[in-house]
A and B are shown apart, each in its own frame.
Chain A
Amino acid sequence: MKNYQQQKFTQQLVIYAFMIVFGLVAVVPIWLMLINATRSTAQINEGISLFPSVYAMANWKILTGRGFKLALGFKNSLTISMFVTLFSVYFSSLVAYGIHVYRFKGRQILWNLIMMLIMLPASLSFIGFVQFMSKAHLMNSYIPLIVPSIASAATVLFMKQYMDSVLSFELIEAARIDGAGEFGIFNGIILPVLKPALATQAIFAFVGSWNNFMTPFVLLSSTEKYTLPMLVQMLRGDIYRTEYGGIYLGIAVSLIPIIIFYAFMSRYIISGLTMGSVKE
């Protein structure tokens, strides 16, 4: 028995060593970014440091002095992501509810279509999408970035699975007997019941839109409309070539909001991640 205890102890040590090493691998790049964002370019060129310095303000001036319209980028990204979140979550629940509750012709076809859509890679329609937007004079507009989120197949699947497990027809029947209209039932009774699922899907929709790079990069041309990732992408250009302090700060300001958000919501996000997938 003592032998067993000893064996277990060494095994735990090995596991802890792995956890520490890989925990550090996950964190060190972020830590270096935060530290270097506060150091001057001369200091960065001199060597690595694990402790912050005092040049954050100077780096900020370098960063914003060269056309890095940070506040505008934030506002643009926030506008797009908020609409995308709202649209994808609301309309996906609407479709999932429609399929869940009503027995209409074409219901099964629609459901099969949604399942198929999830597996289609987005790159397949990309060239046609851009050309079509160009024909429709929607280049440099937020419409092609926001409106397609009304048809988010993966969110529909998730909401449908959640409804299968929590929604009872008695609830809907009772509301109908009380004289509520169908839309009234959906908005007033069903949506509140779905809150946990809505919240996780909202988080993932928001983050997905916030991080989206390729589509806005191709569609938007005026710098006034640039999203945050498009601004960050400018940091690799010639104007910042040797200003490492400014570059690190630019990357940092784009990531810090996500990190803070995650710090408060991580438990929620991680459980949301497995909510829909355990059934696979």
Chain B
Amino acid sequence: MVKSDAQQKIKSDVQKRLNKYGYIFTLPFVIIFLIFNLWPTIYTFLLSFGDLRGLKTDFNIIGVANFAKLISDRYFWGAVGNTFIIWGLNFAPQLGLALLFAVWLTNTKYTLRGKNLFRALFYMPNLLTATSVAILFRSLFAYPVGPVNQFLLNIGIVSEAFNFFRSVPASRIIVAFIQWWMWCGQTLILLMAAITAISPSLYESAVIDGANEWQCTWKITVPLLRPMMFYLLITSMVGGMQMFDIPFLITGMHGEPDFKIRTSAVYMYNIAFQGRNDYSYAAAISIGMFIITIILALLINYMIKERAPKSYRKGVAK
């Protein structure tokens, strides 16, 4: 059926008339984005070049002084270091364990009962309020009579109660553990979904060619999970750089002991809303955090691309 030119023209006129609805439908989003997102971002940049602090309501542009201070601020770099240590302590076991479980739970060879129940329980902490979780673990690891101390005393691992939140390694491990506890389930679910999406025919033909299970896992599953693992690594890193609720609330709101669990987001909060209320410097900190996040994301991207085997790059990448 061939449409006449006139019909065609009417149709395109109608289309044009309708396309103005595109603006109407997207207008609320754009307005709110401009007011509550774009302008605050620009304002953060302006503030970072200014001198807004304390009770002042107006500020002057003073140049890059805040950034000069940031580069030589050992507390800032300390906070960045803390963030990385805690994030790394959480992410490595998170990916490792989630991968292990994902390979096991998706293996059709096994008939595992309670698979779905396990997955549901393992994911549950992710939905819990981080604030409540922080206070809960603060109580569980309390000194001297928290349940963890009582347990360790009962089974005789320690002879007297241990003050976890006075010890730097213990505090860091506890925060990392909570992050792991809250996020490992989600990583597991995403990896399982990615494994299920791999075509079974790949495994079938590999088995015909004489591959064993170990080879199937390392030569098929893991390489094909690269995009998902890349996604997990990037989102976890971006989220980890902003870690706030748990390290802020689990000790005294300044990353005690000795500022060693103070993440960069907690440091930004301390500078902006406690003590001197140095908003301009806090803005510089948030921009510093952003720049570090971008550099890391690019670095990860570069490393993953470098290490991808040729066959993968040619054949399977989308």
Interface residues of A (CB under 8 A from B): 8, 11-12, 15-16, 18-19, 22-23, 25-27, 29-30, 32-33, 36, 44-45, 47-48, 91-92, 94-95, 97-99, 101-104, 107, 110, 113, 117, 119-132, 135, 144, 147-148, 150-151, 156, 182, 186, 207, 210-211, 213-214, 218, 228-230, 232-233, 235-236, 244, 247-248, 250-251, 254-255, 258-259, 262, 266-267, 269-270, 273-274, 277-278, 280
- Bits for B175-213, please: 1 = Cβ < 8 Å to A, else 0: 000000100011001100110010000000000000000
> How many residues belonging to B are interface residues under a CB distance threshold of 8 Å?
96
Interface residues of B (CB under 8 A from A): 15, 18-26, 28-30, 32-33, 36-37, 39-47, 52, 57, 97, 100-101, 104, 109-112, 114-125, 127-132, 135-140, 142, 145, 147, 150-151, 154, 181, 185-186, 189-190, 193-194, 197, 227-228, 231, 238, 241-242, 244-245, 249, 265, 268-269, 272-273, 279, 282-283, 286-287, 289-290, 293
Give the chain B neighbours of A18 by CB distance below 8 A. Answer: 100-101, 104
Given known contacts A25-B181, A151-B33, A182-B21, is B135 in contact with A121 (CB within 8 Å)?
A: no
Q: List 24 A-B contacts (CB under 8 A).
A: A30-B125, A32-B140, A48-B151, A94-B25, A94-B26, A117-B37, A123-B265, A123-B286, A124-B41, A125-B40, A128-B41, A128-B283, A131-B43, A131-B47, A151-B29, A186-B25, A207-B127, A213-B244, A229-B129, A232-B135, A258-B128, A258-B129, A269-B123, A278-B193
B23 and A104 contact, CB distance less than 8 A: yes
Given known contacts A132-B39, A280-B227, is B147 in contact with A32 (CB within 8 Å)?
A: yes
Give the chain B neighbours of A144 by CB distance below 8 A. Answer: 36
B129 and A214 contact, CB distance less than 8 A: no
Give the chain B neighbours of A211 by CB distance below 8 A. Answer: 127-131
Give the chain B neighbours of A213 by CB distance below 8 A. Answer: 129-131, 244-245
Give the chain B neighbours of A113 by CB distance below 8 A. Answer: 33
Give the chain A neighbours of B101 by CB distance below 8 A. Answer: 18-19, 22
Identify A26's interface contact among B18, B114, B130, B185, CB under 8 A: B185
B33 and A270 contact, CB distance less than 8 A: no
Identify B42's interface contact among A120, A128, A235, CB under 8 A: A128
Give the chain B neighbours of A266 by CB distance below 8 A. Answer: 120, 123-124
A244 and B139 contact, CB distance less than 8 A: yes
B129 and A91 contact, CB distance less than 8 A: no
In the complex formed, the residue of B with least CB distance to A11 is B110
Give the chain B neighbours of A32 by CB distance below 8 A. Answer: 140, 147
Give the chain B neighbours of A251 by CB distance below 8 A. Answer: 132, 135-136, 139
Give the chain B neighbours of A235 by CB distance below 8 A. Answer: 135
Q: How far is the CA of A180 from the CA of B100 in the complex (A)?
A: 53
Give the chain A neighbours of B194 by CB distance below 8 A. Answer: 278, 280
Give the chain B neighbours of A119 by CB distance below 8 A. Answer: 238
Give the chain A neighbours of B138 by CB distance below 8 A. Answer: 236
In the complex formed, the residue of A with least CB distance to B123 is A270
A280 and B231 contact, CB distance less than 8 A: yes
Q: In the assembled complex, how far is the CB of residue B55 from the closest CB belonging to chain A, in whole angstroms?
A: 12
Give the chain B neighbours of A25 by CB distance below 8 A. Answer: 181
Q: In the assembled complex, how far is the CB of residue B277 from the closest CB belonging to chain A, in whole angstroms?
A: 11
Q: In the assembled complex, how far is the CB of residue B70 from the closest CB belonging to chain A, in whole angstroms?
A: 14
Give the chain B neighbours of A23 by CB distance below 8 A. Answer: 117-118, 121-122
Q: In the assembled complex, how far is the CB of residue B131 from the closest CB belonging to chain A, in whole angstroms?
A: 4
Identify A127's interface contact among B189, B245, B279, CB under 8 A: B279
Q: In the assembled complex, how far is the CB of residue B193 from the closest CB belonging to chain A, in whole angstroms?
A: 4
Give the chain A neighbours of B37 by CB distance below 8 A. Answer: 117, 125, 148, 151
Give the chain B neighbours of A128 by CB distance below 8 A. Answer: 39-47, 283
Identify B110's interface contact among A12, A124, A147, A262, CB under 8 A: A12
Identify A98's interface contact among B25, B104, B186, B238, CB under 8 A: B25
Q: How far is the CA of A245 from the CA of B137 in the complex (A)?
A: 14
Identify A210's interface contact among B26, B52, B129, CB under 8 A: B129
